[in-house]
Structure formats: C-alpha cells, structure tokens
Amino acid sequence: MHTPGVTTPDEGRCSSVEAALQVLGRPWIGLVLYVLQGGPLRFSELSQRLPNIGDRMLSVRLKQLEARDLVERDVDAGPPVRVTYRLTARGAGLREVMEAIDRWSRAHLTPTRKKRKAASG
C-alpha cells in the first residue's frame, strides 16, 4: 500500500544508497568525515581526535577520501612543512548526513550502550 507523500525505495534509489554506503560504510571513513566537519586539521590533530585508528590506516583513509574528492590535502612548504586536511565542498555536503546519523545514534543506540554497561558492571 502506498501512502501519498511518502517515497518508497525503487531500484534507482537503492543503487544510489548502496553506492553511498559503500563509501561511508568503510571503517573510519565516517568518523574522519565527521571530525573534519569542525574545520581543517593536520594529520597529528586527526590522529589525536581518532585515537583508535592507527596512523597507517588514517593515511589510507585520507587518500581514499581525496580520491573521491571528499577531502583535500593542503601542503604548506614551510619550513616546517605543514599538511592540512579539509573537506571539499562535496565532503562538506555530508554535514546534514553526519548530523542525522549522530541524532539517530543518540536517540536509538546510546541508551542501549548505557544499559549494557549497567548490566555488565
């Protein structure tokens, strides 16, 4: 049954959602994009804000994001040489998506985590 004004998934929408999730669903990609929403950061600053990701994996993910034109790498020859990462306009376009994921997670996942901790503690 179709409800007026409510869209239903069709093949075109499913394939576009699948394409987006193939990018955003890779480990660390979403978190790197989320952290960069706050503005440009150097590699060491990104590493500090994402302490559970190793430097090698962070480097790989940043290169993948550059290849997808979601992040740009800005090199200031210095001295000292400074490399800064920032979202491109395309990457910044994910702000609403990241905020929606954050809201959904806080509403639906955070209480579950608290319940698990209380039960195990």
Q: Where in the chain are the domains? A: 12-120
The reported pLDDT for the residue numbered 1 is: 47
**CA dist., res. 83 & res. 77, Å (int):** 9
Instruction: Express each pLDDT in 1-16 by its tens digit.
Output: 455 555 565 666 688 8
Q: CA 115, CA 88: separation in Å to the nearest integer?
A: 39
Q: What is the pTM of this model?
A: 0.75
**What's the rounded Cα separation, in Å, for the pair 107 and 60?**
32
pLDDT score, position 31: 93
**Alpha carbon 42 to chain centroid distance?**
17
Candidate CATH numbers 2.60.40.2130, 3.40.50.720, 3.30.420.40, 1.10.10.10; the one for domain 12-120: 1.10.10.10
Q: Which residues of the chain have pLDDT under 50?
A: 1
Residue 19 pLDDT: 85
